[in-house]
Amino acid sequence: MANLTANFAGIRSPNPFWLASAPPTDKAFNVARAFKAGWGGVVWKTLGEDPPIVNVSSRYGGVSYNGTRVAGFSNIELITDRPLQVNLDEIKQIKRDWPDRAVVVSLMVPCTEDSWQRILARVEDTACDGVELNFGCPHGMSERDMGSAVGQVPEYVEMVTRWCKQHTRMPVIVKLTPNVTDILAPAAAAKRGGADGVSLINTLQAITGVNLDLMAPEPVVDGLGSHGGYCGPAVKPIALRMVADIARAMPNLQVSGIGGISVWRDAAEFIALGAANVQVCTAAMHRGFKIVEDMIDGLANWMDDKSWPSIEAMRARAIRNYVHWSDLNLNYKTVARIDQDLCIKCGLCHIGCEDTSHQAIAALRVDGQRRYEVIDAECVGCNLCFLACPVDGCITMVRQNTEAAVLTWDHHPNNPLRKEAAA
């Protein structure tokens, strides 16, 4: 049986599945239920200094697509609106009751050293396993010069991280905002500040939709709306890329992967791209805490099938194959193949290719029946037909010229830099 024990930033947990800092981790009642269900750890919903936060109603917006509910999820909720001491007392009790689980506390306070020093001292008294600095919240708190207002400025990230490392013995994790041009800049700043690890991605600035009756962005608050933080399955590709960029550029910086993780396969992809563990929010809010049972079983069974003995053994294994475009083989060629026995004659492959791509799929009539065939000479192997086909396995991409030598852009004769170097 595969060993699912995870070690992120020196914090061990019985499995790599943590709940992210969010409404599911706002109180002891929720966290206890999560641990009973099998979650390996939690990041407590972000704490701030008293006086307490005032939230609005409504708070959530969602994007449904092609019959899938909550393909994307947005919120305009702020950090916890419960008194700080109440949260601290509950954190202490939870850690006492569940000593084998990871309990990390998310924090956000004004960008002054004394503010961070005060709250760190109080949090350390709970015996929690570490703190996560929330430099990612893109709404509400950023207007108060916190959250992403800090995370978007590498100098601030480094400064606050260094303060926290000076004023606590606990592991310090920096939660990064994706609302930046280059995720490597704040990640490097966190590393310079001494962070034990980074977590990402936090939510993206977004408007999920417009209420066309009220003419206001969703969710509507008394006729008005605001941009919120966007998450859920729709952001997973963005999160994977940012996690991979950090793992490739800074392999010694520990990463906790966040963003659209709903099933075990999502977690395996994040870990393969360098994450030491993963954090989940939207999927738990959508389907409840017991989803972790399938996540644990699915990941363990897959690891057994692939002979991966541990999380660490498979971590970052895909990074060696994550390269820059200029490193790709320009001599690698594929063409589409259509299995006529599986084809349902819907014509989606032909329509997409004919209208928007390379006119490489012919629409024929054979014995009075529709038939679609690939024109090899025109097919560039773009994958559009493969992606559009509604029947799994009907269209496959088959490699051609298997004997061709590898040719990258750096060595291509049309590369002007190569010509200059040769001159």
Closest CA to 171 of 8, 299, 337, 399: 8
> What is the spatial distance between Cα 112 and Cα 117, in angstroms, rounded to a whole number?
9
Q: Which amino acid is at 395?
A: I
**Contact between 121 and 109 (Cβ < 8 Å):** no
**Count of C-beta atoms within a 10 Å radius of residue 360:** 23
> First vs last Cα of the chain: how many Å apart?
59
Tokens encoding 136: 């990612």
281 catalytic residue (yes or no):
no
Structural element, H or E, at residue 24? none
How many helices (H) and strands (E) are present in the chain, helices listed first? 14, 20
User: CB-based burial of residue 257 (10 Å sphere; 0-12 exposed, 13-18 middle, 19+ buried)?
Assistant: buried
Q: Which amino acid is at 35?
A: F
137, 379, 385, 389: which is the annotated catalytic residue? 137
**Count of C-beta atoms within a 10 Å radius of residue 272:** 20
Strands 41-47 and 6-8, by their bridges, are: unpaired
- H helical segments located in 281-371: 282-287, 291-306, 311-314, 348-356
Structural element, H or E, at residue 61? strand 60-65
> What is the spatial distance between Cα 73 and Cα 61, in angstroms, rounded to a whole number?
6
Within its chain, how far is the Cα of 342 from the centroid?
Answer: 35
Closest CA to 257 of 183, 326, 170, 353: 183
Closest CA to 199 of 36, 2, 28, 41: 41
Residue showing tokens 């800049």: 185
User: CB-based burial of residue 142 (10 Å sphere; 0-12 exposed, 13-18 middle, 19+ buried)?
Assistant: buried
Sign of CA dihedral 396, 361, 339, 346: positive
User: CB-based burial of residue 241 (10 Å sphere; 0-12 exposed, 13-18 middle, 19+ buried)?
Assistant: middle
Cis peptide bond upstream of 237, omega within 30: no
Residues labelled as active-site residues: 137
